């Protein structure tokens, strides 16, 4: 297992690469993609976020335990802050009363560097999706494993920040933001 901290001010990305996982993209590029997503989502700063690059075996276990789903998935996010800690956006449910949101942020986010949560990605799944032409948001994009991985860490970071794709309007907004961020 390899661990590394990458600073992209005001963010610290704590990267863990599991044993036997070969990353097809530079870690610094993935960290920058996460930082861009955190900026776009209005995440409270300064903050840290974990990125764990793993394989299908681990994501299968996590998917079963946390999502109740069988089989591997490409990315899972584990936010530590409530959605109210982030600005309202089209890609999520409306926030409650602003006074309630302020109390939630004060309670959850003590002074100093806030830990936003973790993103766990199956590099194996990203490579397979890219190789089979099942990449991108629609599952029909042919691009490199490195680009697929960049999309997945962006997607995971947005989930940590309260973005979702549970209904069509949320999905449309989240996909549009992902496209904009990947193009930057």
pLDDT in the model for residue 184: 85
pLDDT in the model for residue 95: 53
pLDDT in the model for residue 135: 82
pLDDT in the model for residue 90: 74
Using the Cα atoms of residue 152, residue 166, residue 172 and residue 131 in order, give the sign of their dihedral.
positive
Q: Are 126 and 144 contacting, i.e. CB atoms less than 8 angstroms apart?
A: no
Q: Are 79 and 159 contacting, i.e. CB atoms less than 8 angstroms apart?
A: yes
Long-range contacts of 143-150 (CB under 8 A, 24+ apart): 144/24, 145/24, 145/25, 146/24, 146/25, 146/29, 147/182, 149/23, 149/24, 149/25, 149/30, 149/121, 149/123, 150/25, 150/29, 150/30, 150/33, 150/182
One digit per residue, the tens of pLDDT, for the chain of length 184 reads 899 999 999 999 999 999 999 999 999 999 999 999 999 999 999 999 999 999 999 999 999 999 999 999 999 999 999 988 888 877 665 555 555 544 444 544 556 899 999 999 999 999 999 999 888 877 788 899 999 999 999 999 999 999 999 899 999 999 999 999 999 8
What per-residue string of b and e applies to 112-125 under the rule 16 or more CB within 10 Å gives b? Answer: eebbbbbbbbbbbb
Domains of the chain, each with CATH number or no CATH: 2-183 (3.40.390.30)
pLDDT in the model for residue 107: 44
pLDDT in the model for residue 1: 84
């Amino acid at each position: 297992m390899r661990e590394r901290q990458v600073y992209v001010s005001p963010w610290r990305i704590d990267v863990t690469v599991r044993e036997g996982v070969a990353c097809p993209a530079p870690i610094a590029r993935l960290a920058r993609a996460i930082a861009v997503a955190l900026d776009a989502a209005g995440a409270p700063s300064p903050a840290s976020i974990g990125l764990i690059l793993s394989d299908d075996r681990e994501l299968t276990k996590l998917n079963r335990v946390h999502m109740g789903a069988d089989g591997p998935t490409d990315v899972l996010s584990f936010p530590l802050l409530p959605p109210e800690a982030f600005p309202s956006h089209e890609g999520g449910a409306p926030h409650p009363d602003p006074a309630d949101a302020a109390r939630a942020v004060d309670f959850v986010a003590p002074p100093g560097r806030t830990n936003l949560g973790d993103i766990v990605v199956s590099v194996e799944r990203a490579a397979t999706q890219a190789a089979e032409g099942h990449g991108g948001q629609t599952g029909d994009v042919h691009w490199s494993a490195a680009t697929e991985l960049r999309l997945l860490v962006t997607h995971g970071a947005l989930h940590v920040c309260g973005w979702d794709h549970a209904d069509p309007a949320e999905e449309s907004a989240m996909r549009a933001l992902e496209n904009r961020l990947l193009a930057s």
